[in-house]
Amino acid sequence: MNQASLDQARQWLAEADRIVIGAGAGLSAAAGFDYTDTRRFEELFPAMHRRGLRARYQLIGRRLPPPLMWGYWATHVADIRFGLGRHPVYQNLRTLAGDRDHYVLSSNVDGLFARNGFDAERVFTPQGDYARYQCEIPCSRETWDSEPIVEAALDAYDPESGQVTDPAAIPACPRCGGEVFLNVRKGPEFIVDPYLPTGRRMQQWLRDLPSDEHIVVLDIGTGYNTPTVVRRPMERLAVGYPNARLIRINRDHPEVPEELDDRGLGLGWDAGPVLAALATAK
């Protein structure tokens, strides 16, 4: 890693009055939750592996018979959302934020910010959260805690076949009895309601930012799969505030908008080592 760039980022963070954190899949991948990880996939999903699948991203949007679908998703969510909580990557990021006023905008649905000391009321996740589920119709605007249905499916899970063997363990809507899925954005049926209050608070916080304060926009692991969710908003925020600086940590796409000139810094390395270096006093 380039020491001069790290020193520049460290100085900007030290001078910041407030911090806005934008986070994409690259941040959670740095913490070990990589949807392209073939080794971990084979370890967790041997039945899926025998069917020719090699990584979790291949299951996104794929229709499966309910016993197989919930065998996969219960195992996946238990690992991603209800497994490991504290992680050095997120702990280092929490150290960088310190006691300064901050908000988080994240496309990740794994709850790792709240599980690592960030105030959940200041973490806006417009793509949803694996910790909740909803009716697929949907028959109402309600969502429910997903941990009980995940645990029930796992209790009836057969790793050899990859299926939930007890039909009673296949979750159904508590209201209409229809099909359910996790409360994540995959189509027009997505119920965004649980996340809107945080989004509105963040929006008001951004509108009230004093023009004379130094703001650091720390954008981590956001690429071009869904750039309108986090990457572009972080750029617009940095461009729109004259005292804002954008630090982008992205191994593959560290570029920053040209109009930022000397207010933009791209660090083209993995998030884990960069955050560790920045969180360590020079």
Chain segment 168-213, per-residue pLDDT in tens? 999 999 999 999 999 999 999 999 999 999 999 999 999 999 989 9
Tell the residue number behind the tokens 């990021």, with chain if given. 93
CB 16 within 8 A of CB 215: yes
pLDDT at 1 over 80: no
pLDDT of residue 86: 85
Categorize the per-residue pLDDT at 281 as very low, low, confident or very high, splitting at 50, 70 and 90. Answer: low
**Cβ-based burial of 232 (10 A; exposed 0-12, middle 13-18, buried ≥19):** middle
Stated pTM of the model: 0.95
Rounded Cα distance, 272 and 23, in Å = 13
Question: Which 3-state string (H, E, C) describes the chain?
Answer: CCHHHHHHHHHHHHHCCEEEEEECHHHHHHCCCCCCCHHHHHHHCHHHHHCCCCCHHHHCCCCCCHHHHHHHHHHHHHHHCCCCCCCHHHHHHHHHHCCCEEEEEECCCCCCCHHHCCCHHHEECCCEEEEEEEECCCCCCCCEECHHHHHHHHHCEECCCCEECCHHHCCCCCCCCCCEEEEECCCCCCCCHHHHHHHHHHHHHHHCCCCCCCEEEEEECCCCCCCCCCHHHHHHHHHHCCCEEEEEECCCCCCCCHHHHHHEEEECCCHHHHHHHHHCCC
| Cα–Cα nearest to 221, from 247, 195, 190 | 247
Mean pLDDT of all residues belonging to the chain: 96
In the chain the domains, ranked by start, together with CATH numbers, are 3-279 (3.40.50.1220)
Chain segment 16-61, per-residue pLDDT in tens? 999 999 999 999 999 988 999 999 999 999 999 999 999 999 999 8
pLDDT at 105 over 80: yes
CB 92 within 8 A of CB 278: yes
